[in-house]
């Protein structure tokens, strides 16, 4: 069973439907006791970094999420679910993130349309060429993005793919059994479903 973290932000049902479409059982829950029964954790999200951290704090989910990633259990972060893994964000009032990875979340420079919204490609390079999620994904495949901020990891070795919009930014990180992406695989049609299916084949 896969658990989808419900912290009141993001299109949880569409994420759940994407997992169901590839044949996986996915349960939406904010109950951290369910995590112990899950084979993998999905951490989606849309909205504000500070608001999300406030909600996670109220729900007492901060430490369970940190522990899950620290123990290298199967994890898939989506959009805000990627950004929250880092130390802090420029968005809104200064707010600490989950601090699972060193680095920060910054806003795109005002040299183009913000948010970055729509289809864009990913450049799989370096460590990304070994990433198991990409086994059925050709180079320069298109995925669907909606975001105004992006992550800047301190440790470049966790970067599995980048994307060009205004500047080159990290679009996927990978370390051990932990994966997180800026785009929305659940909105990315066949390529997105392929990533979800590969993840489920490994961990569901």
Catalytic residue among 79, 91, 131, 200: 79
Transcribe 35-103 into DSSP letters.
GGG-SEEEE---S-HHHHHHHHHHTT-HHHHHHHHHTT--EEEETHHHHTTEEEESSSS-EE---SEEE
Euclidean distance between CA atoms 134 and 64, whole angstroms: 28
Please say if 184 is a catalytic residue.
yes
Q: Please report, to the nearest 10 degrees, the dihedral formed by the alpha carbons of residues 139, 174, 11, 24 taken in order.
A: 90
Euclidean distance between CA atoms 151 and 109, whole angstroms: 13
Which DSSP symbol is given to 154? S
Catalytic residue among 116, 147, 186, 200: 186
Nearest to residue 186, comparing CAs of 68, 22, 6?
Answer: 22
Catalytic residue among 91, 116, 147, 184: 184
Please say if 131 is a catalytic residue.
no
Q: How far apart are the first and last CA of the chain?
A: 6
Sign of the Cα pseudo-torsion (133, 137, 138, 142, in order):
negative
Q: Which residues form the catalytic set?
A: 79, 184, 186
């Amino acid at each position: 069973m896969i658990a989808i973290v419900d912290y009141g932000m993001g299109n949880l049902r569409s994420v759940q439907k994407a997992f169901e479409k590839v044949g996986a059982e996915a349960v939406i829950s904010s109950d951290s006791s369910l995590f112990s029964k899950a084979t993998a954790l999905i951490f989606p999200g849309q909205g504000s970094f500070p608001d999300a951290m406030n909600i996670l704090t109220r729900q007492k989910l901060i430490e369970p999420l940190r522990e899950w990633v620290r123990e290298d259990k199967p994890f898939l972060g989506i959009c805000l679910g990627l950004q929250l893994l880092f130390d802090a964000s420029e968005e809104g009032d200064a707010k600490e993130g989950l601090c699972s990875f060193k680095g920060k979340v910054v806003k795109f420079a005002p040299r183009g349309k913000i948010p970055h919204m729509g289809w864009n490609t990913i450049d799989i390079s370096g460590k990304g060429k070994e990433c198991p999620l990409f086994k059925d994904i050709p180079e320069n495949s298109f995925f669907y993005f909606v975001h105004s901020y992006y992550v800047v990891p301190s440790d470049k070795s966790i970067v599995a793919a980048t994307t060009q919009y205004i500047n080159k930014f990290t679009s996927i990180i990978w370390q051990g059994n932990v994966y997180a992406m800026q785009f929305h695989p659940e909105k990315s049609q066949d390529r997105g479903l392929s990533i979800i299916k590969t993840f489920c084949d490994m961990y569901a």
